Amino acid sequence: MDIVQHIWMGVLAVFQGPPTAAWLPIPIALVMVAAGFVTGVAVGATPGLAGPMAMAVSLPILISVFGYEPDALSPVLGFLIGVMKGATIGGAVPAILFNTPGTPDASLTTFDGHPMTKKGEATKALRIAHFSSVSGDTFSDIVLFVCAPFLAVLVEAYLDLPEKTALILLSMSFIAAVVGKSVAKGLLAAGLGMLAAYVGTGEEFYPRLTGDVPALAQGFPTVVAVLGVLILGEVFKAIEDLMREKARTGAIARQDLSGGDGLSWAEVKRCLPFIRNSAVIGTMIGALPGVGSTLAATLGYASGRKMQQRRGGAKFGTGAPEGVAATEAANSAVSGSNLIPVLSLGIPGNAAAVFLILAMDSIGGFNPGPAVFRVPSDGFNSEMIIAFGIFTTMAFANILNWIIGGRIMRMMAIVARIPSQILLPSVLLVTLLGLYAQETSFTSLWMAIGFGVLGYLMRKLGISVLPFVIAFILAGTLKNTARQAFSASGGDPYFLFDSPISISFIALTVVIIVMTARRKAEVA
């Protein structure tokens, strides 16, 4: 089988998969993508929530429903991808209508989106946000479909075990250095993540780092640690912020929707150059692990503002449609290209990618990395078929986005009015229920709460939790790769310095840490 046949089989695996039910002869993967997409828009339109949080809550429930067989991978990943796509456009709703950004990158959408609402152009702002977001997302997905297999082939051809070990170190150090305001805190978070991952994972006959606690003999379950630090910690911090806000104001602010106008073709044409530039910026930023959509939105907005100054149009920050277009195209273009390091290297770069990796690891049958796109000697690679099935579900989600995304986005504006004092405890309860449904152990719940407290303390101390999560996930791969490289080199402790490529990766790791630390020190 050649690669074209693998692509075709990946498409058929989605469109000719098992039906949802006898009375609904539609492949279950497509139904799950659509359900995830609607859920994602609703979650994105709710201040205080985001796509990763919805993915975290739904993952244990999905695995409990569909099981751990490889056939479950398609519907589970389909739902998660749908949530990721829907939340990308839904996040603009509260930012535009209520001046309440749910995520840091959405705060840039408020600069021009909410002034348009005040001028009675809420509908126009939402239409521009939807068109720009879907355009950037589609462009990013096309780059993913083309570049991920190409990059994987290059990695497989030129990187051996020492080089792959150095590449993982480079990726973890890069994420730790660029995420957050302090390089030292980022490295501390990554170190804590690796320490937690190595509890109870020794190669000897007895577990290590357990403190003679029997419950830790098997280590911390990945889903428990990730959901605890990433989601429960955020919920705990948000509840504390809500309590302080209520104590200070004594009321919850509400705002009515404003009317708005439609979007003309002339206005779309005026926004197209800004969408094009921001889509390219967002795609490039997204391909770098750990950088995220906030930087992409910032650069896209800054680039669009300079372009607007040269053109002499409406000033950004006063309700310029081009400002909404530049921001939304940039932060949406991150979502597709962020999966390039996931599928080609097995390295998650943002929170949404983390939960896709968790689903793959929990269910099995697919191990993202360079070998995914390799055609073996027997001509059949089931993982390549799954990868192109993932591409197919992403393309289907984009089609849904183009056809019905804007209408659902405007309908979900009402979700933004849900009071936080009702929303946050509900998220906490559903997360714990989902964890128990997957782990069926109260010990796991206590572990998750413990990691939630850790995540809360890290946020209070200004330590980003993303390096912790990425390091926890990659620690096992790093250990196995380094152990194999050490054995293959005959026990050479300097195996990382035997190859020019691995030496380059190690040198680049040091340079990134030093340069980023100096830059952040100058900014501070």
What one-character-per-residue DSSP string does 482-499 give?
HHHHHHHTTS-TTGGGSS
Specify the pLDDT at position 101. Answer: 67
Query: 173, exposed or middle or buried, with CB in 10 Å at 0-12, 13-18, 19+?
Result: buried
User: In the beta sheet, which residues pair with residue 19?
Assistant: 27
Please state the length of the chain.
Answer: 524
Residues 6+ apart with CB under 8 A from 186: 175, 176, 177, 178, 179, 180, 463, 464, 467
Distance from chain centroid for Cα 394:
14
Tell me the C-alpha distance between 355 and 377, whole Å: 32
The Cα 512–Cα 524 span in angstroms is 18
Cβ-based burial of 27 (10 A; exposed 0-12, middle 13-18, buried ≥19): buried
> Strand pairing partners for 21?
24
* Helix (DSSP H) and strand (DSSP E) numbers for the chain: 22, 2
Maximum C-alpha span of the chain:
72
pLDDT at 104: 61
Report pLDDT digits (tens) over 239-257: 888 788 777 776 554 444 4
Q: Report the predicted TM-score, pTM, of the whole model to 2 decimal places.
A: 0.81
pLDDT at site 279: 92
Alpha-carbon gap, residue 481 to 194, rounded angstroms: 15
Task: List the pLDDT tens digit at each of the 524 positions of the chain.
Answer: 678 888 888 888 888 877 776 567 788 989 999 999 999 888 888 776 778 888 888 888 888 888 888 888 889 999 999 998 988 888 888 888 877 765 666 778 888 888 888 888 888 888 999 999 999 999 999 998 988 888 887 877 777 888 888 888 888 888 888 777 788 898 999 999 999 988 886 665 667 777 778 778 888 888 888 888 988 888 898 888 878 877 777 655 444 444 445 667 888 888 999 999 999 988 988 887 666 677 788 788 888 888 888 887 778 888 888 999 999 999 888 888 888 888 887 777 677 777 888 888 888 778 888 888 887 777 778 888 888 999 999 999 999 999 988 888 878 767 666 777 777 788 888 888 878 877 778 888 999 999 999 999 999 998 888 889 888 888 888 888 888 888 888 888 888 888 898 999 899 989 988 888 888 777 65
Q: What is the pLDDT of residues 497-506, one digit of tens each?
A: 888 989 998 9
Residue 27 pairs in a beta bridge with 19
The answer to whether the CB of 136 falls within 8 A of the CB of 398 is no
Q: Is 378 helix (H, G, I), strand (E, B) or coil?
A: coil
The DSSP bridge pattern shows strands 19-21 and 24-27 to be antiparallel
- Joined together, the tokens standing for residue 93 give 């709703």
What pLDDT, on the 0 to 100 scale, is given for residue 262?
64
Residue holding tokens 């879907």?
A: 134
d(CA 326, CA 114): 15
- In this prediction, residue 259 carries a pLDDT of 47
